[in-house]
Amino acid sequence: MSQCISFNTIKIKKISVKLCVKNLKPETKNKHEILKIIRFQNLLMLAFMQLVFRYLFLEQSYVDLALTDFNYILLVIATVCIAAGGYVINNIMDQDTDEIAKPHIGLFFSTTKRTS
């Protein structure tokens, strides 16, 4: 097992997940790798579709809108942040499967599951 920079333990019910942040190789430290983890293309599409729905569909339908433009932008930003967090959690939880299916892809986290 590789050396770890830090450990964090998350306990959910009876399962304890220990996260080990590995020493990252220089090529995995760049912003491009982080953008791949959060799947920025999907996030851009999510934000774009929310904006299209509001400004092309709802306003053309003459529907009374409850949110101001500023509040709607905050809603879009919140949705994108929640989706990005979900992608990161999905990457962490699917590590075992990804090690088998995609052994050539480096992983950012190492997990150990233990039941108490």
Q: Which residue has the higher pLDDT, 58 or 108?
A: 58
* Sign, CA torsion 13/17/18/22: negative
All structural domains of the chain with their residue ranges: 4-115
Position with higher pLDDT, 35 vs 115: 35
pLDDT at 114 over 90: no
Over the stretch 42-96, which tens digit does the pLDDT of each residue have? 999 999 999 999 999 998 888 888 999 999 999 999 999 999 999 989 888 888 8
Residue 17 · residue 113 · CB < 8 Å: yes
- Residue 22 pairs in a beta bridge with 4
- The pLDDT value recorded for residue 92 is 84
Is the pLDDT at 26 greater than 70? The verdict is no
